[in-house]
Amino acid sequence: MTHRSTNSQPFSRVGSDILKLALAAAGVQGVALLALPFLQRYFYTPEAFADFALYSQLAGLLGAVATARMDLAVVQHKTQLLARAALQNGLKALALTTAISLVLALGLKWGGMEMGKVPYLWIALPLGVTSLGMGALFTAWLSRDKAFGAVAQYRAIGGTTGELLRFATARLGHTGLIVGRVLGQWFTALLAWRAFGKDASPSFLPSAANRREAWAMDKDYLRFTTPSNLLAMAANACLVLFLFECASRDFVGQVGTALAYLTAASGLLIRSVNDVFFRHLKDIAPAVLPGVYMRWALGIAALTATGCLVLFAIPTEMVTHMLGTQWSNMLPAMRWLSLWMIPWVAASSLSGIFPHLRRQSLAFGLDVLHLILIVGWLWLNWSPLGSGNMAYDSMDILKEYACIQAGFYTLALALGWSACLRGAKTQMPSVH
């Protein structure tokens, strides 16, 4: 009886903390969703959104590995000294990733690729990656102290500011969408950094030996979790990157904007669950973890499926009347792309289960398989250099993409649950 109450109480706090983050962040996500139609109708063309979609994918790829996932390590360390040492290790990794992002952007430009023709990408990409990494590290520190309200507030301020700046920077042309997003991310990062400075005691400055100790404990995040994140982001980015090089900017812009609508809605749930679920996993007994994982997976999937039904109920004519005929392909693209997001949102929200159970190698293997599936499919069926012949004016590529993605993320959920079962059988203790 005592054992059950010990584990049910921490998990009841999970729901409370998730609700706190979700309600606080819902405002800025609502602003983003409300702003997007006005940006489409009056300020930016599909071609401008194509440039923004490319930036988003590249920044997401590099941002996913920018800190060597030391943000996860910061949350999991019990002592402030080791947590701060992990944060400093993450900042060093961020400096290296920022330099790589500059080299990549310049390489795309000098290599004559379509991606390199995006104006000022060589400036925007390093700045965006730096802000993402700083935001991740310093909000992780706040999450470690369970300051979830502050995390939500800073993200809301940065997100809302970024959306407003996208209107103000419209005179910059295509670049305005990117500039607004980058500046908004910097607002979040600087606010979290200021809060960190007030919270972190100067008496807990880690030495070089402390940083080495933290690194010895956290190196699996670099060995497994960081490559897994890169592979996962690469697999999901392949579609936009491939289309940007091979398809018309108009088509890429509509697909990219469809993804923007979908990720604005789903990102709220993913981020809220991820931040809190991973933080409280160590409070949940291995014996009850499989049931907890299954309930949350089914609940998140059901919620996402409800949103998909709404998309299919919206008349296509209503969208073209509101946004113009140039956006006629956006809603059909959203409908197909939303189908694979049902298992994706659940799998991404609960992805912290793999590092918690020290099954990073399993997550890494899954992500290798994911990238092989997507790249192989694009090459064999759609690439002009392969055996395929891509039809850019149809939804065929999105239909096949949705099927492949849905199958993969369903498999990921099944393996996450299987890992929980194995942990329950061995009564594996919590990490650290």
Residue 317 CA to residue 331 CA, distance in Å, equals 10
Domain that holds residue 9: 2-426
**C-alpha count within 13 angstroms, C-beta hemisphere, residue 183:** 16
385 Cβ contact partners less than 8 Å away, ≥ 6 residues apart: 379
Nearest to 75 by CA among 375, 216, 277: 277
- Which residue type sits at 300? I
Q: Is residue 124 part of a domain?
A: yes
pTM across the whole model: 0.77
Q: Is residue 432 part of a domain?
A: no
Q: Is residue 301 part of a domain?
A: yes
pLDDT per position as a tens digit, 91-118: 999 999 999 999 999 999 898 888 888 8
Structural domain count, the chain: 1
Phi, psi of 196, rounded to the nearest 5 degrees: -60, -45
Q: Is 206 left (phi over 0), alpha (psi -120 to 50) or beta?
A: beta
Q: Is residue 128 part of a domain?
A: yes
Please tell me what DSSP assigns to residue 22.
H
Q: Is residue 125 part of a domain?
A: yes
Number of H helices, E strands in the chain: 16, 0
Q: Chain centroid to CA 233: how far? A: 8
Residue with tokens 């090089």: 245
Longest dimension (CA), the chain: 67
Q: What is the dihedral of CA 185, 51, 336, 41, to 10 degrees?
A: 90
Do residues 315 and 328 lie in contact, with contact meaning Cβ atoms separated by under 8 Å? no
Q: Is residue 289 part of a domain?
A: yes
Q: What is the pLDDT along the chain (432 residues), one digit of tens a residue?
A: 333 334 444 445 555 665 666 665 666 667 777 888 889 888 898 889 999 999 999 998 898 889 888 888 888 787 888 888 888 889 999 999 999 999 999 999 898 888 888 888 999 999 999 999 999 899 888 877 777 777 877 888 888 888 889 998 888 888 899 999 999 999 999 998 988 877 666 666 777 887 788 888 888 778 767 777 788 788 878 888 888 887 788 888 989 888 888 887 777 677 667 666 666 666 676 677 777 788 888 888 888 888 888 888 888 888 888 888 888 888 888 898 888 989 998 888 887 777 767 777 787 788 889 899 998 888 877 666 555 555 544 678 888 889 999 999 999 888 888 877 776 667 544 444
Nearest to 275 by CA among 44, 24, 72, 69: 72
Q: Is residue 377 part of a domain?
A: yes
